[in-house]
Amino acid sequence: MLQRNNMDRKEVVLMKFILYFMLISLLFLVGCGEEDIELPVTDEEEAELVQLIEQYKHTFIEAINEKGFNVLEPLLITNHNFYHSVRRYVQDTQAKGIKMQLVSNEIERVYKNDFGEWFVEVKETVATSSARTEEEIVTQQLTYIIVEYNQEKRVMTILVR
């Protein structure tokens, strides 16, 4: 009986070892995937993407300052996580009485990957103020990720670099 328990423990230890080995191997394989390939865009694509980013930023500020989230909907992917985050942000910002003004919007780089996503890197400076706070100026390095959605280019998400 004592030998049987020792054998069971050895089998359990061996099974745990195999399970951990497989898990670590899987994590290694997933983590060692290739990086996205950066591909150049045509002048026409770049102009269209720059126009979309400028339209998005101006519409975003207009949404916060007066019109509400609905004016942004045509520029986003409906019912996407980012869509809901932007809607919540606009509503919360309006509720706090915060106003926003675009100080500068410098396009730094435009490229695409082999998955059909476009990336627009921007250096953006925005001024915010409210009746209760002084003006605050914030500059951020952002990457807008654009995808084709219903035959139109839309903002999928924005990353802070």
pLDDT digits (tens, 9 = 90+) for 140-150: 999 999 999 99
Token reading at 86: 């932007």
Domain boundaries, the chain: 43-160
Q: What is the pLDDT of residue 145?
A: 97
SS3 37: coil
Q: Model's pTM, two decimal places? A: 0.77
Options 2.30.30.110, 3.30.1330.90, 3.30.450.90, 3.10.450.50; which CATH number does 43-160 get? 3.10.450.50
Tell me the H-state helices in 41-80: 43-62
Q: In sequence order, what are the residues at sequence separation of 6 or more whose Cβ sits closer than 8 angstroms to the Cβ of residue 160?
A: 140, 141, 142
| Contact between residue 37 and residue 115 where contact means Cβ atoms under 8 Å apart | no
Rounded-to-integer distance, Cα 153 and Cα 20, Å: 43
pLDDT digits (tens, 9 = 90+) for 32-44: 555 668 999 999 9
Q: What is the pLDDT of residue 20?
A: 62
Q: How confident is the model at residue 3 (pLDDT cuts 50, 70, 90)?
A: low
- The torsion defined by the Cα of 92, 55, 106 and 100, in degrees rounded to 10, comes to -30
Q: What is the pLDDT of residue 133?
A: 86
Q: Over the Cα atoms of the chain, what is R_g? A: 24
Please determine, for residue 107, whether its predicted confidence score (pLDDT) is greater than 70.
Answer: yes
pLDDT digits (tens, 9 = 90+) for 9-20: 667 666 666 766
